[in-house]
Amino acid sequence: MHRRDFLKTMLLAAPAVILAGPPKSWAARLFVRASGQYLEISSAVVTATPFSMSIWGYPVSLGIAQGLMGVGQNGDANHSLFVENNNFLLARTRSNTSVISSAQQNVQVTINTWMHVGGVWASDSSRELYKNGVSVATNTTTATVTGMNLSRIGAEMISAVKWDGRLAHAAIWANTALNPGEMAALASGAPVFKIRPSAVVAYVPIWGQNAPEIDVAAARAWPFIGTGTPAEAPGPPVGLWRTY
């Protein structure tokens, strides 16, 4: 059985056991901003709302704009999870007519600390930001994005500003607005494939051992952009199995 299929099967089964800690392969990747490192595919994983995103991030520097993940057009209309240079976290939409609508938490993120970040785009006029399983901001300004043709992890969509630090477990659900309980479960360590598995259209664990990284939901490779080699780093508090 292919490693991807083996992993997905075990995550769906989720036996009632908790690992003492993640195995070596259940790690994270260190993205070095100065080396221009991020992941990108030349297609949009989703092309319209509703959809949801989830990712774990561990910033090693602050005071700079940093992209977690997004879908859209290069340098133009997009939906993204993002940290501004004031260290505020946001779920942002930039429309085809340059309307920028953001659900923003006006509390600074913490350096050298894992955080779970989720975004729910329920419609073109509804976006909600989650941090560590809690809804922290909403926005209801209408902003429509069409013609999406790009997906990124570790970089922002408009100017490709890079993430500086570790990233892990990036996932996207199509035609789905995850609810607060589901976001809370993800933030507490639930495997991605335990949350509406039939709607998962992208799941990149980001092991830090491969270039490109492996998308276990879609049998797809996410090419590595930038210089340097893959760098594995300790991952977030997520295991292969968990009791709920």
pLDDT at 12: 44
Of the candidate ranges 3-17, 113-127, 137-151, 172-186, the one whose mean pLDDT is the lowest: 3-17
| CATH value at residue 73 | 2.60.120.200
7 within some domain? no
Which of 190, 56, 223, 226 is CA-nearest to residue 214? 223
pLDDT digits (tens, 9 = 90+) for 104-144: 999 899 999 999 999 999 999 999 999 999 999 999 999 99
- Which tokens hold the place of 186? 């993800």
Give the chain's length: 244
Residue 95 has pLDDT above 90, yes or no: yes
pLDDT band of residue 209 (cuts 50, 70, 90) is: confident
19 within some domain? no
160 within some domain? yes
159 within some domain? yes
pLDDT at 237: 84
pLDDT digits (tens, 9 = 90+) for 44-77: 999 999 999 999 999 999 999 999 999 999 888 9
109 within some domain? yes
Measured CA to CA in angstroms, residue 9 lies from 99, 237, 240 at distances of 42, 21, 11
Please provide the average confidence, as pLDDT, over all residues in the chain: 88
Q: Are 179 and 54 a contacting pair, CB within 8 Å?
A: no
Residues whose CB is less than 8 angstroms from the CB of residue 104 and which lie 6 or more positions away in sequence, other chains included: 84, 88, 89, 90, 92, 129, 137, 139
pLDDT at 4: 46
Of the candidate ranges 66-70, 132-136, 155-159, 180-184, the one whose mean pLDDT is the lowest: 155-159
Residue 24 has pLDDT above 70, yes or no: no
Question: Domain range holding 176?
Answer: 24-220
CA distance 28 to 11: 18
pLDDT digits (tens, 9 = 90+) for 35-53: 999 999 999 999 999 999 9
Q: Which residues in 109-206 belong to E strands, given as ranges?
A: 115-123, 126-131, 134-139, 150-153, 165-174, 200-204
Query: Does the N-terminal peptide bond of residue 50 adopt cis geometry, omega within 30 degrees of 0?
Result: yes
CA distance 192 to 196: 8
Q: What percent of the chain has pLDDT over 70?
A: 87
Residue 172 has pLDDT above 80, yes or no: yes
What is the pLDDT averaged over residues 188-215? 93
5 within some domain? no
106 within some domain? yes
- Which tokens hold the place of 116? 């779970």
Report the domain count for the chain: 1
